[in-house]
Structure 1
Amino acid sequence: MASPTAKSASSRTVPARPNTAFRQLRGRLSPGEFAAAVRRSAREIGEQVSCDARYVGRVESGEIRCPNYAYERVFRHMFPGLALPDMGFAPRETVRGRGARTAVNAAPLALDPDHRDTCIQICEESDVLRRAFITGGPAAALGIAALHPAEAAAVPRPRTPGGRAGAAEATAVEEAVRRIRLLDDRHGAEGIYRRATAPLRAAYDLLDSGVQRRSVADRLHSGAGELAITVGWLAHDSGRFGDARSHYAEALATARVCGDAALEAHAFCNTAFLARDADRPREAVRAAQAAQQAAKHLGSPRLLSLLALREAGGWAVLGDRSGCEQALSRAERLFAGGTADNDPEWMTFYGEAELAGLEAQCWSALGDGERAAELARRAVSLQDPHFTRNIALFTAELAGDLTDSGALEEAAAAGTRALALLDQVGSARIRAMLDRTARRLHAHRGLGPVADFLERHTASAGAVAAAP
């Protein structure tokens, strides 16, 4: 228990003063309507935020004195010309970091039960990565700070007051999902997967600890299921297909237990993706169709579009051109319906670039290299810079498609660009794609660009093999 002195110091650090300026910005919208507007704005700029009415209430009550960087970018996009103080927020330097702690000479926030789990320290590692550290309570128990290879902190077991999980624990699980996805978007799965399994175990331990309120139980089940899918994806992208299959099955079981159709659709979606990559195309088709069945009442045409693409991928590997074309047509029609408030947060990657890239993969599997290359070029050109891994993925796809279509020097150039991106991204899946392209180009090593690509590929493969 915190001492009275610590309590007082911490309270001075985070005074709960209502944010009237932000309340005025909300206008006549309800908190839920405003949260939906925030999510829409985030999608417009490629950000990922899980804003809901509860978050809006925390801002307006003064509990959140300064938003994290992602929310700051979204709010600046929504209200051009306004700085954080204009929106009623405290300057970042007075809230976070060493300067804030020195200025108030206060005890850590985790000592104050009224503010535990509300402080997120954001440290800028580079232009492409901001690592988040949850500084106290159950969020720290989930081990979010240990996810990136640059961190080596141990992951303790979850500890919940009175042995039961509450809203703070549910928030910690949701934050873990979001942070892992951000790291994956920018750096790929290699180096993250092993560390991410610890927060997953902690999340399911929280479920076993018991939950008093049904609303919290639902959040924990959904969060744990999404975390299982996220960790499964890291295994998938790292080439650990058996692990991925196990994690996706765990997520599907969680969805069935709590009757969460959105989680079920997501689990089947990733299962279909994995089945295609594991050369089980019939399973891919069945899983994608099951996902569409689960998602049909969720009110998200974009989700149904992505699921139709997963089905198309299975048909393509089977060589069923008619089935593939029908699924692709359905995917394009649903995509044209635009975004919706009910679009899942995890789908922020799915835009025109992803649509083109997944279509390219289908045509490549059907043997139409020229059409696939055209779509892969479009995917690379449209990709948001935030999704570094996807840029590398579709550049590698382009290299393979150009090889199929006979444009060997252009293929080698694309392969070289993809290799350069792998300095930032760790993905066994992308490396495997480039390995296949290198094998097919080997017979043409007399061409200058091809020889350069093969030399770089050999050096890159050697560096990976030598890595600890």
Structure 2
Amino acid sequence: MTSSTVTSSQSPRPARPNLAFRRLRAQRSPAEFAALVRRAAREIGERVSCDARYVGRVEAGEIRCPNYAYERVFLHLFPGRTLADLGFAPRSSVRGRGARETDEALPSHTTSPMHASPETEGAHETYDTQDPYDTHQDDEESDVQRRAFMTGGTATVAAASLGPFGVAHGSVAHAVPRPGRRAGVSEAGALEEAVRKIRLLDDRHGADGLYRRASAPLRTAYELLDAGATRQTTADRLYTGAGELAISVGWLAHDSGRFDDARSHYAEALATARMSGDPGLEAHAFCNTAFLARDAGRPREAVRAAQAAQRAARGVGSPRLMSLLALREAGGWAGLADRAGVEQALARAQALYERGPSDTDPEWMTFYGEAELEGLEAQCWSTLGDWPRAARHARRAADLQDPHFTRNIALYTAELADDLARGGRPDEAATAGLRVLDLLDEVQSSRIQTMLAGTARVLLPHRRASGVSAFLERHASLPRTA
């Protein structure tokens, strides 16, 4: 894949006005239309903070794709239309670029840091903090990703998609500036883009095919920190980007069963957060550490890490972040068989979630919606052995999950299959297990395969039950991962 470049003679690509959305507003004022959007949200149980400014930014083309809450509201408000009909870009082309207003440019085309021009640092472009999908990304690049996956699988997508921080045919793309030159906004932008690409690929395909290839960009990120930055704002972006990349790579290790590697990456991210004084990054690192500790059988550490994350997150001002961290704490209490602790933490998580989204919600939390809340609660009840209750929440999680998050649909459905099997409903468990197997051509996750293996063992005594033998035979034919 060839990457587009930005030179000093090029200006950032201007936003393209969304004329289709403007036509739908008709004679209403932006404020009147925003009120209509908020009313439509209430009708379907969503909470969005739509105002005249948000409407104006959509119409100006600054928000190329709405977040999932807004998407549901818009499709409810205009039944029968798609996001494309409303003038939005495909979500795959804009997944999760965080918005910020800085005195630096984030180039609209990813620039190879080897060929970045220092003059590009004078440019200025504003990014929205209200919508995590506000970005400018080359549509041609998305086509390359789709073709790569069709022809070569997840690992090939990773190679084709990580831009100047990626790996191609096993070699590291050198992204560190020339000797004597410090890192600038082009390097910071490329680093942030690598994080987004990894998250997008994991959402769709799981971690197993990505982990080893994603380690190379992480080494490059820390070489950039060693090179220094031209401005303090750039240095802050580099530290945050390197920390977030360490967390993303740690998660890939975590989800593919490499717990020791994951622990090391999370610790690296935590150290980076402490050095740079970034409470949001610190909360994220502790959040993932808590999740890892729970999965690794260290529930008391999970509780303490989740509580540390909540202390760090107080200054962030995001109720949704605090909600997720309460769920992490609940997972630790479940591992300690403390039902009262679980119930208290779950109640806090639900109350905080119901406060709705905020402009302060971190970019990495785009995955956290009602489906994830239900899925994490299901895991708590499953750990406590309350199989019927766990199955109810797992079923809701799978039903609520946006189709974009293929990996999570497989995860929640695998959780449902296991809860049903252990709860004495083998035929329903087998049906759910078969749905997961249907997704494994697209999703590569050791976590999900481990869950399915456990379900298969529980179902073995019920092999004569309706559908169970079909599930067991298909599961037995799966290729075994190393």
* TM-score bin (small chain): 0.7 to 0.9
> What is the one-letter code of the residue matched to 1:41?
P
Contact 2:113 2:177 in 1 (8 A): no
Inter-partner Cα distance in structure 1 for 2:320 and 2:13: 40
Match among 91, 95, 101 for residue 53 of structure 1: 101
Q: What amino acid is aligned across from residue 142 of structure 1 in structure 2?
A: F
* In structure 2, distance between residues paired with 1:10 and 1:292: 43
In structure 1, C-alpha distance between the alignment counterparts of 2:264 and 2:220, rounded to whole Å: 17
* Distance in 2, Cα, partners of 1:428 & 1:20: 42
Query: Which residue, out of 202, 205, 209, partners 2:220?
Result: 202
Partner of 1:346 in structure 2? Answer: 364
- 413-422 vs 330-339, which deviates more? 413-422
Q: Which moved more, 1:450-459 or 1:233-242?
A: 450-459
Cα distance change of structure 1 residues 454 and 169 upon mapping to structure 2, 3 Å threshold: same
Structure 1 unmatched runs, 5+: 1-6, 69-107
Q: Which amino acid aligns with 2:101?
A: A
Distance in 2, Cα, partners of 1:368 & 1:58: 52
| Aligned residue in 1 for 2:454 | 436
- 2:98 counterpart letter in structure 1: S
Q: Residue deviations 1:425-448, cap 9 Å, x none?
A: 010011101111111111111224
Of 313, 322, 325 in structure 1, the residue corresponding to residue 340 of structure 2 is 322
Aligned to 1:378: 396
Aligned counterparts of 1:261 and 1:382: Cα–Cα separation in 2: 31
Cα deviation for residue 153 of structure 1 reads 5.3
Pick one of 203, 207, 217 that aligns with 1:189: 207
CA RMSD of aligned residues (A): 3.7
Relative to 1, partners in 2 of residues 1:167 and 1:439: Cα closer, same or farther, differing over 3 Å?
A: same
SS in 1 for 2:141: strand
| CA offsets 1:10-46 (integer angstroms, 9 cap, x no match) | 889x577866968xx9x9959x9989x9499334347
2:429 corresponds to which residue? 411
- What's 2:291 paired with? 273
Deviation digits for residues 385-424 of structure 1 (CA, Å, limit 9, x no counterpart): 0000000000000001101211110001111111111111
**Counterpart amino acid of 2:169?**
A
In the TM superposition, 1:246-257 aligns within 5 A as 246-257=264-275
Q: Offset of 1:250 from its aligned partner?
A: 0.2
* 2:58 pairs with 1:41: no
Matched, 1:122 2:141: yes
Per the alignment, residue 364 of structure 1 pairs with 382
Equivalent residue letter for 1:157: H
Which letter maps to 2:317? G
Q: Which residue of 1 aligns with 2:37?
A: none
Shift of 1:187: 0.4
Q: Structure 1 219/424 Cα, relative in aligned 2: closer, same or farther at 3 Å? A: same
SS in 2 for 1:243: helix
Change beyond 3 A, Cα 1:369–1:169? same
Check whether the contact 1:269–1:291 (CA below 8 A) recurs between aligned residues: yes
Q: Equivalents in 2 of 1:346, 1:337: separation in Å? A: 19
The residue aligned with 2:43 is none
Alpha-carbon distance in structure 2 between the residues aligned to 1:318 and 1:200: 35
Conserved? CA contact 1:38–1:51, under 8 Å = no
Structure 2 match to 1:83: none
1:79 alignment partner in structure 2: none
Query: Which residue in the other structure is 2:79 paired with?
Result: none
Q: Residue 158 of structure 1 aligns to which amino acid in structure 2?
A: A
Q: CA deviation at 1:158?
A: 2.8
Distance 1:453 1:170, change over 3 A: same
Give the unaligned 5+ runs of structure 2. Answer: 23-29, 31-51, 72-90, 122-135, 151-156
User: TM-score, normalised to structure 2's length?
Assistant: 0.74
In the TM superposition, residue 156 of structure 1 has moved relative to its aligned partner by 3.1
TM-score (norm 1): 0.77
Report the AA paired with residue 51 of structure 1.
A
- Equivalenced residues, count: 400
Given that residues 173 and 224 in structure 1 are in contact (C-alpha distance below 8 angstroms), is that contact kept between their aligned partners in structure 2?
yes
